[in-house]
Structures are given as C-alpha cells and as structure tokens.
C-alpha cells in the first residue's frame, strides 16, 4: 500500500527535474528530499508504526508543490540593468564580513565556556568541564538558563557566518586559505553544540551552510562548472558518518557521561532520525479537521513568540508512542502547516510555495545574488522539514536578515 505514494513522489521528482533541467529547482529538490525522507524510515525503522493516510497526504503535498513549480516555469523574466550590474559583484566582497563575524563568534564561544565554568563552581577539572553540557541541558529544559546579552548575541552571528561561508564556497575558484576561513563557522557550530549538549546547533549550522552553498550555485556562471557525482557521494557519506559520531558524542555528554547511554543509543538514534514519519502519519490519521485550522501559530512560532503573540516552549509537541516501547515529539513541519491552515489550506500553500520559489529560482539564475535569501530559506525549510518548521528559531531569522543587509551593502 505504501509503494504507490512513494512511486508518485519518485515520478514527481523526475518530471520536475526534466521540466526545469536541474535537481536544485524547488519542485525537484523538494520531491527528491522527501522521497529520501519517506524511504529511509521505512527501510531502517520498519518496527515503527506508520499511518497510510499520512503517507498519502505527504505525497499529495509534494505533488502540489511540484505543480506550482511547473506552472512557474512558463513565466520568464527579462534582464534588467540592475541584474546586469549584479553580475559583476565578486565573492571576495564578503570575506571581510565573514572575518568579523568569525572573530565575534569565537569570542562568544570562549566567553560562554568561561561563563559556564564560573556559574558551575567546582567543575574546573577536565572531567568537570565535560559535565558542563549535561548541566547546561538541565538548566535549559528547566527554563533557568539565561546567557548574558553579549554572549547571547555574539553567538547569534554563528549562523550568518555559515550562510556567508556557503555563498563564498559556491564559487569554485576560492583559494585554500579562503576555504579554511569558510569552515570556521561550522567548527564553531560544533563547539557550541558540544558545549550546550545540543544536536540542534550543529544540525542547523550545517543546513544553513548547505542551503547557502546550493543557493550560490544557482546562477548561470556556476552551473557551467561540473560537479562530479562521486564527489557528491563521498562528501555526503562523510557528512553522514561525521554527524552520527557527533550524535553519539553529544548524547553521551548530555547524559552526564553515563555509560548507560550506549545501551539504548541505537533506539534513541532511530527515534530521532526516523521517528518523524511515524509520529506525523499517526497524528494525521487521527486528524479530523479538513477545512478548519486548529493552532494558527505553529509554523511561525519563533517570530510570534518574539512579538508576545504566542508562547513557544522547548519540546513544542507532546511525545507520542510510535510503537509500544518508543516515543518521540518530532512531527515534521507538515504538522504545523496542517494545524495552522487545515488540510486543504496547507495544500494550497504548497502550490504557492512551488510557484513563488520557482519564479525566484528562475530569476536568480540570471545573476549571482538576486533571490539568494529566499532560496536559502526554501532549501533550509525543506531539509529541516522532517523535524519541525525552521521558523521556530529566531536566531535563524535574524541570520537571514543580517546576510540580506550584507549582500545589499556589498552590491
């Protein structure tokens, strides 16, 4: 019963790729990634329960977005004087901004380490320092963790650094020294994730980096460069293995160096990496509101919380059991869309997502930086969508705003 919706998503990806000529177009990119997000839980976590109607909804959502993308391909943009001017903008213009951001971010990490050692007195030894991630995790989930303003906002610059690094590295002629500078934000993200005992910081940093790299490729100049498939495969394999290692290490630190963490590590990894499909589909099968929204504010919980319109808590959803022994509170970003806009409304939004971002994509390929921020938002939302809406995090929204102004100032 599951093969038919999977096949539909597969053909949706192929049709979008053929129509647009690239896997980076919104319809093809979203279809391809959600095909991966559907297949991997079924293959590697078959013991988790899956709702059939939820699978069909995901397939319909993917098809609807692809249809919007295909409709947008019929619209063409004329080259303007501004676009011709933008073509002369070089990637070197961003190095100074990245250097400043890296410096402030590193100062923030060092300050956070010193601050953590000071507030957790008696943990100055080597083993004590390794206990800091566990202590920070406890305080964070209890709502008692408050960083000084200087530390908090200096750490906010980590993600703009990841975005700028992706832009620069999308230029294939970047020197080795420049590449080293571009990987510093990722190293800082890893350091922050280890220090806080949080996988989210690491994952978001890499996603923003990847989204900006792909967005930077989407112009007529970089598309002329050939990316060998074996390089993509080896890079993806290395990134996956490295993330799994970090997952284990951070979880161990988060649990206070308790050796028992290894006893249920595989179970925890399966729930974190593959439980989203089961959680969403089981929730969707019990969802009865076809036309009427429920929550209204889930998708943009971050900025709405900043405006004091709604409350955003850690662990946004209550956990559900995806089999008799395992529970998870990861429901994908699609749950927020369905809850906020109803089933029919979310499908209409899916169509317009494909339509609007395909228009931006086609326009962006005519020059280097036009539409960079919107495409980075789309790629980030897509890659993070198995977990939750990327718009839950105000630090990410600020990152796009900061990089937008940097781009405009350089132009």
For residue 399, is pLDDT > 80?
yes
Average pLDDT of the chain is 80
Same-domain check for residues 62 and 107: no
The pLDDT of residue 288 is 64
Question: Does a structural domain hold residue 384?
Answer: no
The pLDDT of residue 268 is 73
**pLDDT tens digits along 267-322:** 777 888 889 999 999 999 876 655 565 565 677 666 666 555 565 555 567 788 88
The pLDDT of residue 256 is 58
Same-domain check for residues 30 and 174: no
Same-domain check for residues 97 and 203: yes
The pLDDT of residue 78 is 47
Same-domain check for residues 285 and 182: no
The pLDDT of residue 116 is 85
Domain span at residue 42 reads 3-76+276-364
Structural domain count, the chain: 2
Same-domain check for residues 206 and 307: no
Same-domain check for residues 187 and 292: no
**pLDDT tens digits along 17-56:** 998 888 889 999 999 999 999 999 999 888 899 989 999 9
For residue 77, is pLDDT > 60?
no
For residue 178, is pLDDT > 90?
no
Question: Does a structural domain hold residue 407?
Answer: no
Given 364, 385, 405, the domain boundary residue is 364
Distance CA 398, CA 163 (A): 12
HEC string of the chain equals CCHHHHHHHHHHHHHHHHHHCCCCCHHHHHHHHHHHHHHHHHHHCCCCCCCHHHHHHHHHHHHHHHHHHHHHCCCCCCCCHHHHHHCCCCHHHHHHHHHHHHHHHHHHHHHHHHHHHHHCCCCCCHHHHHCHHHHHHHHHHHCCCCCCHHHHHHHCCHHHHHHHHHHHHCCCCCCHHHHHHHHHHHHHHHHHHHHHCCHHHHHHHHHHHHHHHHHHHCCCCHHHCCCCHHHHHHHHHHHHHHHHHHHHHHHHHHCCCCHHHHCCHHHHHHHHHHHHHHHHHHHHHCCCCCCCCCCCCCCCHHHHHHCCCCCCCCCCCCCEECCCCCEECCCCHHHHHHHHHHHHHHHHHHHHHHHHHHHHHHHHCCCCCCCHHHHHHHHHHHHHCCCCCHHHCHHHHHHHHHHHHHHHHHC
Same-domain check for residues 110 and 171: yes
The pLDDT of residue 80 is 42
The pLDDT of residue 353 is 95
The pLDDT of residue 75 is 72
Same-domain check for residues 162 and 185: yes
Given 207, 227, 259, the domain boundary residue is 259
Same-domain check for residues 196 and 99: yes
The pLDDT of residue 45 is 86
The pLDDT of residue 382 is 95
User: If we measure between CA atoms, which residue out of 209, 220, 221, 211 comes closest to residue 363?
Assistant: 220
Same-domain check for residues 150 and 254: yes
pLDDT class for 11, splitting at 50, 70, 90? Answer: very high
pLDDT class for 81, splitting at 50, 70, 90? Answer: very low
Question: Does a structural domain hold residue 312?
Answer: yes
The pLDDT of residue 187 is 92
Question: Does a structural domain hold residue 374?
Answer: no
Backbone angles phi, psi at 321, to 5 degrees: -85, 125
pLDDT class for 111, splitting at 50, 70, 90? Answer: very high
Cα distances (angstroms) measured from residue 104 to each of 58, 62, 111, 153, 374: 41, 40, 10, 9, 26
For residue 247, is pLDDT > 60?
yes
The pLDDT of residue 280 is 94
Question: Does a structural domain hold residue 390?
Answer: no
The pLDDT of residue 36 is 93
pLDDT class for 225, splitting at 50, 70, 90? Answer: very low
Same-domain check for residues 116 and 184: yes
Tokens linked to 57: 């909804």
User: If we measure between CA atoms, which residue out of 407, 411, 403 comes closest to residue 156?
Assistant: 403
Q: What is the mean pLDDT of residues 224-230?
A: 51
Question: Does a structural domain hold residue 389?
Answer: no
- Cβ burial of 130 (10 Å; 0-12, 13-18, 19+) is middle
Same-domain check for residues 110 and 191: yes
Question: Does a structural domain hold residue 13?
Answer: yes
Given 348, 364, 380, the domain boundary residue is 364
Question: Does a structural domain hold residue 393?
Answer: no
**pLDDT tens digits along 330-349:** 899 999 899 888 889 999 99
The β-bridge partners of 168 are: none
């Amino acid at each position: 019963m599951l093969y038919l919706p999977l096949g539909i998503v597969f053909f949706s990806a192929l049709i979008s790729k053929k129509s647009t000529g690239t896997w980076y177009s919104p319809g093809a990119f979203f279809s391809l990634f959600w095909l991966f997000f559907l297949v991997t839980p079924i293959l590697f976590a078959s013991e988790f329960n899956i709702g059939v109607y939820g699978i069909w909804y995901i397939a319909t959502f993917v098809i609807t977005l692809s249809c919007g993308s295909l409709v947008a391909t019929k619209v063409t943009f004329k080259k303007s004087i501004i676009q011709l001017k933008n073509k002369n903008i070089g990637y070197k213009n961003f190095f100074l901004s990245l250097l400043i951001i890296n410096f402030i971010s590193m100062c923030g990490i060092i300050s956070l380490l010193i601050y953590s050692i000071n507030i957790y007195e008696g943990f100055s030894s080597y083993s004590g320092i390794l206990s800091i991630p566990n202590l920070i995790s406890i305080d964070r989930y209890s709502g008692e963790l408050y960083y000084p303003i200087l530390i908090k906002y200096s750490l906010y610059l980590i993600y703009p650094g990841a975005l700028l690094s992706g832009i620069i590295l999308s230029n294939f002629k970047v020197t080795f020294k420049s590449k080293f500078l571009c990987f510093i934000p990722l190293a800082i993200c890893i350091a922050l994730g280890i220090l806080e005992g949080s996988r989210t910081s690491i994952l978001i940093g890499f996603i923003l980096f990847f989204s900006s790299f792909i967005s930077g490729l989407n112009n007529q100049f970089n598309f002329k460069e050939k990316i060998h498939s074996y390089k993509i495969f080896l890079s993806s394999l290395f990134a996956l293995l490295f993330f799994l290692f970090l997952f284990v290490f951070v979880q161990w630190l988060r649990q206070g160096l308790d050796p028992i963490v290894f006893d249920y590590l595989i179970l925890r990894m399966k729930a974190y990496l593959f439980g989203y499909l089961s959680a969403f589909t089981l929730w969707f099968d019990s969802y009865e509101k076809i036309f009427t929204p429920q929550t209204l504010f889930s998708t943009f919980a971050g900025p709405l919380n900043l405006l004091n319109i709604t409350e955003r808590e850690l662990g946004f959803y209550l956990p559900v059991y995806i089999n008799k022994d395992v529970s998870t509170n990861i429901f994908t970003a699609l749950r927020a869309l369905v809850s906020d806009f109803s089933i029919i409304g979310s499908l209409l939004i899916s169509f317009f997502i494909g339509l609007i971002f395909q228009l931006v994509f086609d326009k962006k390929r005519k020059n280097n930086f036009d539409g960079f921020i919107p495409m980075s938002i789309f790629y980030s939302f897509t890659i993070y969508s198995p977990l939750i809406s990327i718009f839950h995090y105000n630090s990410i929204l600020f990152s796009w705003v900061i990089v937008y102004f940097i781009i405009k100032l350089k132009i």
